[in-house]
Amino acid sequence: MSSDGSPLCVHSTLEPSEDELESSMLSDPSIRAIPAIPIVRRDDRFYLSLITFQVENCLFRVPRDAFEEQSGVFRGMFAVPTVGQEGDSDDNPIHLEGIKEAAFRNFLEVLYTPDHLERHDQLEVEQWSTVLELAHMWEFEKIQGLAITKLQSFSIDEISKVEMAQKYNIEEWYAPAYLALARRAQPLTVEETTRIGYDAAVKMAQIRERNIQRTLSRTRSAYEEANFALSKAKRASEQMKSALYSSGGKKWRAHLNEFFGSSTSFNWTAPNPIRLSFPEDQLGEDIRAIFELTEHICQ
């Protein structure tokens, strides 16, 4: 109480509780009339961020998502936050050092153009080669596979195929390229050896050596078979001539001389009168004459 006996007025400094506030707001009609503000969100697929690259003296501003989704290299790059995020504007682009402007443009043509459109068919082997190089460097596996498929439709020399197979790890190109080089008539030149490397050149020399050995072996077998067939034909020729002489008597000596000609000699007075000698190049003529004479005798 105060000095005059009146009661003291004490003002509480305690704040109202959350329940008290909520009850007060619900009971106030002016507060209930304010509509709730909707929360705006970004679509998961079709809200695209743009990224700016500088290649040589040219700026490229393209959707960032394709680089982030398809490339392990760029996905790792974008995951690291930087002050004044690099690539957000033309004033702060991502610099791609050592890349040619035309090569990067070809790569973007493939990256942002669906496979079924004819724009891909306008690229030549040199352009697809640069696309393959960038896709391999930045780990765009899908683009790399597409470039390899497209390059297979072009006529590329075997040395270049071995080079690309080594550089981009294209396993399916090794065997056909090595086989073609092994089968060609010319050996590797010094320039070609330098291009594919010493190890590949040694392997190629080993393959060519084995191929030559197999060819020589087949040739030797074929020669032996031909020589055996020639000897067999000679014996058959002598046997048939002997049979004709024995059955035909003097009457057929004239026929033999007529068919075999003067270059074939018969030793009529020897104990075995059927010893013959004739030039090798007339063997076919002699055999054909024997068959003709045999038909005449059998008539």
Question: How much is the average pLDDT of 122-140?
Answer: 94
Task: Give the predicted TM-score (pTM) of the model.
Answer: 0.58
Q: Of 33-37, 105-109, 192-196, which gets the smallest average pLDDT?
A: 33-37
Check pLDDT > 50 for residue 276: no
Longest dimension (CA), the chain: 183
Is residue 46 very low, low, confident or very high in pLDDT (cuts 50, 70, 90)? confident
Q: Cα separation of 3 and 223, whole Å?
A: 144
Check pLDDT > 60 for residue 11: no
Is residue 295 very low, low, confident or very high in pLDDT (cuts 50, 70, 90)? very low
Is residue 178 very low, low, confident or very high in pLDDT (cuts 50, 70, 90)? confident
Burial 87-121 (b: 16+ CB within 10 A, else e): bbeeeebbebeebeeebbebbbbbbeeeeeeeebe
Question: How much is the average pLDDT of 22-35?
Answer: 58
Check pLDDT > 90 for residue 170: yes
* pLDDT in the model for residue 290: 52
More confident residue, 55 or 19: 55
Question: How much is the average pLDDT of 177-197?
Answer: 86
51-108 per-position pLDDT tens digit = 999 999 999 999 999 999 999 899 988 888 765 688 888 999 999 999 999 999 999 9
Q: Are 68 and 74 in contact (CB under 8 A)?
A: yes
Question: How far are the Cα atoms of 51, 63, 217, 276 from residue 286, in angstroms, in the given order?
Answer: 89, 86, 32, 11
CB-based contacts of 180, cutoff 8 Å, min separation 6: 158
Is residue 277 very low, low, confident or very high in pLDDT (cuts 50, 70, 90)? very low
* pLDDT in the model for residue 16: 61
Question: How far are the Cα atoms of 114, 162, 177 from residue 102, in angstroms, in the given order?
Answer: 20, 25, 29
SS3 of 79, please? coil
Percent of the chain's residues with pLDDT above 70: 65
Q: For the range 100-105, what are the long-range contacts, defined as Cβ-Cβ under 8 Å and sequence gap of 24 or more?
A: 100/55, 100/56, 100/130, 101/55, 101/56, 101/57, 101/58, 102/130, 103/130, 103/131, 103/133, 103/134, 104/53, 104/55, 104/60, 104/134, 105/60
For β-strands 50-55 and 276-277, DSSP reports them as unpaired
Q: Which parts of the chain are beta strand (E)?
A: 50-55, 58-63, 94-95, 265-266, 276-277
Is residue 9 very low, low, confident or very high in pLDDT (cuts 50, 70, 90)? low
Q: Of 128-137, 233-242, 245-254, which gets the smallest average pLDDT?
A: 245-254
Q: Any idea which residue has 């998961």 for tokens?
A: 44
Is residue 143 very low, low, confident or very high in pLDDT (cuts 50, 70, 90)? very high
* pLDDT in the model for residue 57: 94
199-233 per-position pLDDT tens digit = 888 888 887 788 778 777 777 777 777 777 777 77
Q: Cα separation of 236 and 124, whole Å?
A: 65
Q: Cα separation of 121 and 244, whole Å?
A: 75
* pLDDT in the model for residue 137: 95
* pLDDT in the model for residue 93: 93
- ∠ CA 128-130-135, nearest 5°, is 95
